[in-house]
Structure 1
Amino acid sequence: MRVLVHAGCFAKQEDDAYALAPWSRLLVSSEHTAAAPFVVGMLHPLIVQSWHSLGAWFHGRAPTPFAAAHGKGIFETAREQPGFVAVFNEAMASDSRLVGQVLVKKHAGVFEGARSMVDVGGCTGTLAAIVAEAFPHLKCTVLDLPHVVAAAAAAGTPNNLDFVGGNMFDHIPSADIMLLKSRTKAATVLCSRR
């Protein structure tokens, strides 16, 4: 425990008692901005196996470490394994909740004067919903593949949030703000199409 206190994971209190430090509070799953589902997702055996395949990826021709480990991409695997897709989607939603809270609290000025925002590859709309609730004047749109937004749109969302099925390489709806949280696979595809 002393090492974890020194590293900032926990705070030492009197009489050998310990308390959560700010970043370890993120791992408490009862918190709205908990990162615990993200950690669980990143420690899923399919993901961990990808990390163990970095050498094969560097020396091979697979487009990603995940493909080097499994012979196909993460999204193809997710379609075949519903248990994995549930863990993966919750991990991404967990990350989006944390990023969304920081975005609307610390960077609200980004949205000043804007009337519309599109979240490209926004999956279930977690991040866009946080922005839509914080800025009711902003018309928010989530663009993702049709089968992704079909399930997400049914979950109930703020009135100023819409879902559009499509491919970002074909068309992105016009908006004042484009949110592209992290699309490493997409960047790889975009570079290979040039």
Structure 2
Amino acid sequence: MSELDPSHIMQVGMGFFASKTLLSAVELELFTKLAMQPMTGKEIAAALQLNPRAIPDFPDALVALKFLQRDGDGPDAHYSNTPESTFFLDRNSPGYIGGILEMANARLYRFWADLTAALKTGMPQNETKQSGEPMCAKLYADPARLEQFMNAMSGISAGNFKEFARKFDFSGFKTLCDVGGATGQLSCMVAAANPHMRCASLDLPKVVPIATRKIQQAGLTDRVTALGGDFLADPLPKAEIITMGMILHDWNLEKKKLLIRKAYDALPPGGAFVVIEALIDDERRENAFGLMMSLNMLIEFGDAFDYSGADFVGWCREVGFRDFQIIPLTGPSSAAVAYK
């Protein structure tokens, strides 16, 4: 048995070491400060108000993890961002994806400590556990936390939405409604890449001011509109394309099927219903991120879950959708399309 190697077990089992090192660096805005100029360890400690004991272990760990570069050795060495850290982790970069990492640090990291309890009880392990209130009620009651959540979703979705706007054939369509559109990001990306498209971003009324501001910043108010409504309680706005980006996985099977039916009813013949998710592979063997995202839905909501492309096709066939397409996007994510 000497040829067996435990390194993969140890890497995953102790993976929270690396995770929290990165999350703390994002929380402390280390990458944003280093985007301005390289720093020595002592300068990093002063800029971030760190205890001297954190140096050099903290920045050197980030060097070893390939998030920082170091020029030289010893106390006079200078640390700087990698190209990826500059683009994705500097708050001032247009490619910033740190919002999802900020939320992971503030919320998910601690909730995942209770995964065992979730597996045993099937109950949420988030804010709901302490207050008894649904997660969304707590989230939407705090404007600052709501905007943090919206920015987090924008960070994790940006690459997928951009790829969808590029890969999907919009030539036969003119209107799109993004259900649960948050900041209006998907609508703005589709409109920017397809000048003939008019888009609406639908979310709860408290989200509309956030989306309106983002749409104005994008200079797309002539073709993108933020709408307030409850997509579970109300009929969906009519459009030729209905999209749901990381929405369907938030719900149990009954509500998933309700939303699919609502999308079908809102579409004309030939219309397209699109979900963008970390779709689990049909054999449930490969997409580890999609499977762990489904565990995250257990932690957040209890009965919510992620699903495969085959699951989506089966549910959509039940309500009358006739043709289907899976479009690979970035990393573990895909767009599943059902045509009416």
Name the CA distance, whole Å, in 1 between partners of 2:254 and 2:114: 20
Name the CA distance, whole Å, in 1 between partners of 2:197 and 2:69: 41
Q: Which residue of 1 aligns with 2:185?
A: 126
Question: Contact conserved, 1:27 with 1:34, CA < 8 A, in 2?
Answer: yes
Q: TM-score, normalised by structure 2?
A: 0.47
Name the CA distance, whole Å, in 2 between partners of 1:97 and 1:7: 24
* 22-31 or 50-59, larger mean C-alpha shift: 22-31
The alpha-carbon distance between structure 1 residues 111 and 14, as it changes in their structure 2 partners (threshold 3 A), is farther
Question: Contact conserved, 1:56 with 1:68, CA < 8 A, in 2?
Answer: no
Q: What is the CA distance between 1:23 and its match in structure 2? A: 6.7
Q: Which residue of 1 aligns with 2:125?
A: 65
Name the CA distance, whole Å, in 2 between partners of 1:48 and 1:3: 19
Q: What is the CA distance between 1:179 and its match in structure 2? A: 1.6
Name the CA distance, whole Å, in 2 between partners of 1:147 and 1:80: 9
User: What SS is found at the alignment partner of 1:140?
Assistant: strand
Tell whether 2:90 aligns with 1:28: yes
Please point out which of 206, 219, 231 is paired with 1:168. 231
Paired residue type of 1:35: I
Paired residue type of 1:72: E
Name the CA distance, whole Å, in 2 between partners of 1:28 and 1:174: 39
Please point out which of 141, 144, 161 is paired with 1:83. 144
The alpha-carbon distance between structure 1 residues 100 and 39, as it changes in their structure 2 partners (threshold 3 A), is same
Paired residue type of 2:133: K
The alpha-carbon distance between structure 1 residues 154 and 82, as it changes in their structure 2 partners (threshold 3 A), is closer
Q: What is the CA distance between 1:137 and its match in structure 2? A: 0.7
Please point out which of 152, 176, 182 is paired with 1:117. 176
For CA contacts below 8 A with separation 6 or more, give which structure has more relative contact order: 1
User: What SS is found at the alignment partner of 1:111?
Assistant: coil
Name the CA distance, whole Å, in 2 between partners of 1:39 and 1:75: 19
Paired residue type of 1:103: F
> How many pairs are equivalent?
190
State the structure with more CA Rg. 2
Quick one: percent identity of the two aligned structures? 22
Please point out which of 227, 247, 250 is paired with 1:185. 250
Paired residue type of 1:143: L
What 5-or-longer segments of structure 1 have no aligned partner? Answer: none
| Superposition RMSD in Å | 3.3
Paired residue type of 1:37: G
Q: Which residue of 1 aligns with 2:337?
A: none
What 5-or-longer segments of structure 2 have no aligned partner? Answer: 1-58, 259-340
